[in-house]
Amino acid sequence: MGWDRRATCWNVGRALEYFSCITASLVTVSLAAGEYYAVPGVLGSALATFLAGVGFKRAGAPSETSDKALSYASAAAVWLVVGAFGALPFLSLAWTVALRPTLASAPPLSPTLAAFRSPTNALFEAVSGLTGTGLTVTRRESRLPATLQFWRSLLQWVGGVGIVVLVVSVFDSTGPLADYYENEIPVGEMELQPADPRAMLLAFSVVTLASIAVLWAVGMSAWAALNHGLSAISTGGFTITDASAAAYGVPVQVALMPIMMVGALPVPVYYLALRGDLREFYVDLQSRWLWVSLAVGSVAVTGLLAFDATYPSAQSAVLYGTFQFVSAMTCAGFGTASVGSWPTSALVVVTLGMFVGGAMGSTTAGIKVIRGLSLVEGTWHRVTNVFFPGGDTGYRDAAASESSYIGSIVTRHATTNYDDASFVTVLWFGTFVFGVLALAILMPDSVPFVRIVFDVASAVSAVGLSTGITDAGMPGSAKLTLVVVMWAGRLEVFPVLVLLRSLLVADDDTFDANGDPDD
């Protein structure tokens, strides 16, 4: 079939129309916070988003048929375009305050807000939020207007549950975007896992409210609990403080860790848990290996910090090491310590955690735990077959390797194999190498290479931990590079490649159902 670019435009337009409603809802925060000067900019941003959506839909047309290529291209385009329009509230508020209209009673312009007069900074912040990365160009989040503080948190929640899932939940459950949802969270036994994304959205919302309640109960203010609850369960990492989670005491930091862990679990686990099936938190193959990986990595980082005497006491090493590794592997990005001062060995372990990430079907990025398990088992079989030929040469995928767990969630929504895991890993490393080489060229020579490696790994796995090189002072070209890396990493790269290919290949070229050119 020919490539249906008009269908992609129509899907982008549909997503923008819905996203305009999310943008408009921000007015309630502006009014509640007494930031009346922000109302015109917010409404203007919502209107511009809606009109753009109408324009995209008029330029396109709904597809009569659907295939994987169209669903991948539509999803990649939706994430990028929605991210671009998500930058409008940052720009509008920054310029409103900069121009200080008399009727709007705008406050003086702070350096923190002034940074968002730059379209590049606004785009970076919006894409970082929507992809759940959490890298930021501002170091004084506490100086941002409440409107933008909540916008950052809301972007992460929308990106965490998946803008595609939200669109499918509101509109019809058929078509290319619905197909992408099915590919992102494959469904096996329908009677055991709902195919309807509305059920996933409901489960995610309930867990979000529970997270907010827990943070409020351990000492956060209602406003802080609301913002951190949205970003923690979405494994995003944006905060409303200048020191991330370090601004709070140990009880809050301890409470954040299980919330981040739950955010790294498959969303269907929430649904089954709400139905009373709590066993899936430890019976599910992905969940069990996630717990194991988090424990092993935390112990390794803690041991390396203690050996290096990075902190004066073992207790500090345990608290800082465990929190940072959990934050990294769950792709949350909250921080309680400056990792820029850590030994290289500890940074390597944390980087490995970011590389693996959480579970398939969760809010995280990375290659995912189940793929990591597939890589380890598949590689082990291939190596042992070299030394012990004639043995069992059949490769068993990670989900089916333990017959007693065939009925677990992983066999219903995240079954994978060695080839799939290898393919995604190659794409991850390709994006990672591209980002590292680009930043090595674009950043000043004084920036240590290990910091570039760490921040790029953080971006491609949508983590958000930084060694301090990602800020408003970073060259604009470097920020745009990270925007591409964050976008590609959140979508696991392949949909981005399909979209780029569709834009570069001539109209008369044809594709099969998987997005490959027909002979």
Beta carbons of 134 and 128 less than 8 angstroms apart: yes
pLDDT grade, residue 150 (50/70/90)?
very high
Please report, for the chain, the start and end positions of each structural domain, with discontinuous segments joined by +: 5-184, 190-509
Long-range contact pairs involving 106-111 (C-beta distance under 8 Å, separation at least 24): 106/37, 107/37, 110/140, 110/143, 111/140
Structure tokens at 28: 């309630």
- By 3-state DSSP, what share of the chain in percent is helix, strand and coil, each rounded to 5? 65, 0, 35
Query: pLDDT at position 391, please?
Result: 54
User: Is the CB of residue 89 less than 8 Å from the CB of residue 148?
Assistant: yes
Residue 290 has pLDDT above 50, yes or no: yes
pLDDT single digits (tens) 422-474: 888 899 999 999 999 999 999 998 899 988 998 998 899 888 888 888 888 89
pLDDT of 377 = 77
- pLDDT given at position 439: 95
**Span 37-45, mean pLDDT?**
94
Mean pLDDT of 143-165: 86
Cα 418 → chain centroid: 24
Q: What is the pLDDT of residue 88?
A: 97
pLDDT in tens, 190-200: 233 444 667 77
Once rounded to an integer, what is the mean pLDDT over residues 249-270? 88
The answer on pLDDT for 268 being more than 90 is no
- Residue 434 has a pLDDT of 96
Q: Give the pLDDT confidence score for residue 456 in this predicted structure.
A: 93
What DSSP line would sit under 3-18, residue for residue? --HHHHHHHHHHHHHH
**What pLDDT is stored for residue 151 in this prediction?**
96
Distance CA 41, CA 108 (A): 17
Greater confidence (511 vs 481) lies with 481
Per residue in 367-421, pLDDT (tens digit) is: 888 888 878 777 777 777 777 665 554 444 444 444 333 334 444 433 446 777 7
pLDDT for the residue numbered 387: 72
Q: Determine the average pLDDT of the residues in 149-165.
A: 83
Write the pLDDT tens digit of every residue in 166-215: 555 444 444 545 554 555 544 333 233 444 667 777 888 888 999 999 99
Q: What is the mean pLDDT of residues 2-26?
A: 86
Res 310 pLDDT > 60 = yes
Q: How confident is the model at residue 364 (pLDDT cuts 50, 70, 90)?
A: confident
Stated length of the chain: 519
Specify the pTM.
0.85
pLDDT tens digits along 316-328? 999 999 999 999 9
Give residue 146's pLDDT band: very low, low, confident or very high (50, 70, 90).
very high
Mean pLDDT of the chain: 81
pLDDT at position 513 is 44
Helix 163-170 to helix 68-85 angle, to the nearest 10 degrees?
100
Asked whether 131 and 152 are in contact (CB, 8 A), the reply is: no
**For the chain, what percent of residues have pLDDT higher than 70?**
81
259-273, 377-391, 488-502: least confidently modelled range: 377-391
What average pLDDT score do residues 276-298 get? 81
Task: Tell me the mean pLDDT in the region 335-351.
Answer: 86
